[in-house]
Structure 1
Amino acid sequence: MAENITELIGRVALRDRSAFRALYAATSAKLFGVCLRILRDRAEAEDALQEIFVRIWNNADRFTASDTSPMSWLIAVARNHAIDRIRARKPQAVDIDEAVGIADDAPSPEQEAVATDERSRIQACLETLDAARADAVRGAYMEGYSYQELADRHGIPVNTMRTWLRRSLMKLKECLTQ
């Protein structure tokens, strides 16, 4: 098979179209697999394969049978082309001076300090509630449980759970305003 591919590449170098078709039929599946493995996108691998065969058509005269096996040469052409496509995807580096105006979405140290203080105040107020009611408040407002889920978890009617939550929020509001 290697001799056959070597012969086909030699004929492609002489611009033999039937040899090119035969080379494509014999090697395209393998080269497509190489492209797909590197590019990880079927459509892009198909486009790359077409470009690779254009390169093979234009550069077949550069292949020398004594240097390497024909499949190794073809795979190297495919691999290098696929890697070039990946490199071309990457955005160009931006000058650091242009990045000065980009806002940082992270909270400032002052905002972090205020948030930490608020969390500790809320936690302290939650601790003043009955344990079951504090658990219900955490479940409803921090974990997203529904009234029904909380009522089932605590073994009480839904309307009782609503009352618990309403009264607990009033106590929390009073605690936080002190």
Structure 2
Amino acid sequence: MTDRPHDPEALLAACARGERAALQRLYQTEAPLLLGIVLRLVRDRGLAEDILHDAFLRIWRGAAGFAPERGSARGWMCSVARNLALNALRDRQRLVPLADGWEPLAESADPAREANGRRLEGCLQNLEAPRREAILAAYLDGCSHGEIAQRLQAPLGTVKSWITRGLKALRECMT
């Protein structure tokens, strides 16, 4: 297996080589985060666990296609899980309403992840309210740009700009 047991990029590369132990380690370290994302969208623990299982199958099968120059491994895995959850919601023809407050599902045992989470929270708070609301609606609630435009009563192009510029500001703040 990899010399870097907590590095998602290295673990994905090991998965691409067919190393099952790397998938097991990836599951141990990333499943709580991915489950939280999926559960936030589908609001059904059983369904979320099924989607998480499917996500890790897709991650295992698609590990060789992961391109680190296009983004982080964690981001790629989050996208896989999120897209599967959104597909499940579309299949069920239902929308997930915005919750008043979002709380993480479980505390992380990884201090670096917790520190990144706190930094991200701070960076989100520094964004202008419309940009923050648009990003949260897109990534936490799974809304399309059109749905966000309706929700925020703003033109579609404006919403797309808010999200693009907001994500850029978040990346800059996090580096």
How does the TM-score come out when normalised to structure 2? 0.49
Instruction: Give TM-score scaled by structure 1 length.
Output: 0.49
Larger Rg over CA atoms:
1
